[in-house]
Amino acid sequence: MAINWFPGHMHVTKKALIERLKETDVVIELLDARLPGSSANPMLAELTGRRPKLKVLNKQDLADPARTEAWLDWYNAQPETRAIALDAGEKAPAQRLIQACRGLVPQRGGMDKPLRVVICGIPNVGKSTLMNTLVGRKAAKTGDEAGITRVEQRINLASDFYLFDTPGMLWPKIIVEKSGYHLAASGAVGRNAYDEEEVALELLNSLKGHYASLLAARYKLSDTVAIPQQHDDELLTQIGKQRGAVMAGGRVNMQKAAEIVLNDFRSAALGRITLETPEVFTAWREAAEAAEAERIRAKQAAEQARRKAFKKPIPE
């Protein structure tokens, strides 16, 4: 099942962002530290081009510290890019953001050349919470649901530092299948765009190798060694039994079990987890891009063959 979610207001956001980028010095992209590759918007990368970028791995307190360091190193190795990590509830992040942005464009600064910065991110990545922290008051709506922020706002973090906030935005087609599932698991995709049981099964597939011990501890599963070899549906059934998601006749309510797993991941009740490494995500993306390119070539070839057959002269 391919997961995609691009409601109408995101088209409006894209158009507004294109206009804003014409007068922007630095682009801050807020990423989910639990899925730093999947939460990076490829459409944003295309729109911003070679403009300096600050990658902020938000919610690092929910993520695996070792994998967060690996992602910071990976992003910091890219040209015109810096990366930092923030806690979901960090009290004073403004100075860290200002310092990192000034380092990217040292030629900007002062009242005659104020630094103009746009902050972007996928839905439900914690951007509204961060903006409220930056301004010191509740200026933006927050909630554990995708697509709450709908309008742009500007705040001045310093007399010569203008920060423009934009609504959360995904991209029209998610070609990396794993990314679609990880985004849905994190809550970045609207609930009507995916099946919770299917997403929970894929999440367990991502967790049962590296994080089998966390699953065993949370759900009181006795055989940690066997978890990586279990089928995903078998593991979800076992979790449902352990957590009381059982219907009349002893059957497990798989929908309820799925909700339990997804809620436990989103709330970090499972522990500090990062679903992807730079190397693994790069392999996923390259395979998906190759498959998408082949699909487009096949479609074009079929269309050319159809047109050629249509124009073929009728024999006398």
Going residue by residue through the chain (316 aa), what tens digit of pLDDT does each one get?
Answer: 577 766 656 777 788 888 888 889 999 999 999 999 999 999 888 888 889 999 999 999 999 999 999 999 999 999 999 999 998 667 778 889 999 999 999 999 888 899 999 999 988 898 888 888 887 754 444 444 444 444 567 888 888 999 998 888 888 889 999 999 999 999 998 888 899 999 999 999 999 999 999 999 999 998 888 899 999 999 999 999 999 999 988 999 999 999 999 999 999 999 999 999 999 999 999 999 999 999 999 999 998 888 888 765 555 5
Q: Are 122 and 29 a contacting pair, CB within 8 Å?
A: no
Render 59-94 in DSSP notation, one character per residue: -GGGS-HHHHHHHHHHHHTSTTEEEEE--TT-S--H
What are the chain's domains? 8-165 (3.40.50.300), 195-266 (1.10.1580.10)
